[in-house]
Amino acid sequence: MTAVFLKRGRDKPARQRHPWVFSGAIARVDGEPQDGDPVDVRAADGDWLARGILNRRSQIAVRLLTWDPDEAVDANLWRHRLARAVDARARLPALAGTSAYRLAFSEADGVPGLVVDRYADWLAVQFSALAADRWREAIVTALVELIQPRGIVARDDPEAREKEGLLAAEGVVWGEPPPAHVEIEEDGLTFLVDVLRGQKTGFYLDQRENRRLVEPYGRGAQVLDAFAYTGAFAVRAWRGGAVSVTTVESSPEALALAEENLARNGFGGRTEHVVGNAFRELRAFRAAGRRFDVVILDPPKFARSAGHLEQAGRGYKDINLLALHLLEPGGILVTFSCSGLVGTDLFQQIVWEAALDAGRDVQVIARCAQAPDHPVALNFPESAYLKGLICRVW
Ligand code: SAH
């Protein structure tokens, strides 16, 4: 029987159901398993701990799938886990108003390396670990059976696939190709999503609850939506009653879609769209004496690895400092970090440092996290990545 034996004293994470076995924790591999094969994981003394899928090309050498010795790692396991995830979404009150949501969130849903996002009748799937990629066909078959979509598209996370030794493999994997823009609904608003080429799988589903929180702050406000992507926050601010909305975004394609999303929801008029680097554009706004009542900062992930943490901290501080300078007294700063490595406390500290430098008094009036279709598994704290603060700035 093939088995992975851990080094002495390295069994604790597996016993605590952490789903990753790092290559450095492995003493030896018995038998001749190929990468992608199921393996048992045993402690140094031979005690059975868990079962997972081997990938020696990755630093995460085994992705654990079950802690039940009677459960086989096979197509049935994937089908079972997906059925559970789908059922959980069907019973999430937060999803009542939307046709777009995350159906399965990788380790946090017991499906390591697999993300499934639903956009109306289409599914966008990311296979970002060999564990999931190896079961691609079984996963697609299970999704067809569970959801009956019109089509399924595979979207790559190239960085993650490279770490797993996987080649690019994007495209339609089942059914009809989606139109250039799939229309989705969220709380009575409609958005166009580029499921084949958009960022992530096309839309920032994880910000849904935070969009809901931000909407009422739009009332009577001049709003700046920085890192706007396709304008999801901008549209919300408009519906909340904003008197003007300015978006800043580096991707012209995304911003063109933002304009279209505003227009199709009936919000034309007092909008200004700036294609550019937010750091530069916010500095230019300050130089021009511009002021806003609400500033939303939703930058991309600045901290890609622990080695980037310091640089990322500076990035977050700089952009928050720039935003604070632009706010009217009593204005609202909505500020996010989607870097998993930047914890909630550290992020608050960074915003505080920016407040000190700006000479502004800042009060936290609400805290934000990822939407409930992106659950946080307690045995996998890494699944918590999105944090945000809604602040009153004096
Ligand atoms: N707020 C958006 C999601 C933002 S994701 C929403 O709710 O849909 C981060 C966005 O920042 C991406 O669209 C990316 O293209 C953009 N971006 C990255 N670096 C940037 C920079 N330096 N200046 C402006 N935009 C940037």
The pLDDT of residue 75 is 97
pLDDT in tens, 145-184: 999 999 999 999 999 999 999 999 999 999 999 999 999 9
The pLDDT of residue 327 is 98
The pLDDT of residue 305 is 87
302 CB within 6 A, ligand 1: no
- Say if CB 212 and CB 338 are below 8 A apart: no
Whether residue 306 is predicted with pLDDT greater than 90 in this model: the reply is: no
Query: CA separation (Å) from 341 to 225, 344, 387?
Result: 24, 10, 11
329 CB within 6 A, ligand 1: no
Residues in CB range of 251: below 8 A, 6 or more apart? 199, 229, 275
pLDDT in tens, 228-285: 999 999 999 999 999 999 999 999 999 999 999 999 999 877 899 999 999 999 999 9
Residue 374 neighbours by CB distance under 10 Å:
23
The pLDDT of residue 269 is 76
Structure pTM?
A: 0.96
Mean pLDDT of 102-106: 98
Q: What is the largest CA-CA distance in the chain?
A: 71
Chain centre to alpha carbon of residue 215: 21
CA–centroid distance, 55 to ligand 1, in Å, is 33
By most ligand atoms within 8 Å of CB, the mutation choice from 214, 250, 277, 304 for ligand 1 is 250
- Of residues 307 and 217, more confidently modeled: 217
Confidence label for 198 from pLDDT (cuts 50, 70 and 90): very high
Among residues 338, 346, 362, 368, the one annotated as catalytic is: 338
- Indicate the length of the chain as a whole number: 394
Mean pLDDT of 126-137: 96
Give the ligand 1 atom nearest the CA of 203.
8
- 338 catalytic per annotation: yes
pLDDT in tens, 116-127: 999 999 999 999
Give the ligand 1 atom nearest the CA of 248.
24
**For residues 260 and 254, what is the distance between their CA atoms, to the nearest angstrom?**
10
Place of tokens 């930058």: 299
Chain centre to alpha carbon of residue 26: 30
pLDDT in tens, 239-251: 999 999 999 999 9
The pLDDT of residue 330 is 98
171 CB within 6 A, ligand 1: no
pLDDT in tens, 350-382: 999 999 999 999 999 999 999 999 999 999 999
Q: Which of 95, 319, 82 lies closest to 224, judged by CA?
A: 319
Measured between alpha carbons, how far apart are the two ends of the chain, in Å? 66
Cα 232-224-204 angle, rounded to 5 deg: 25
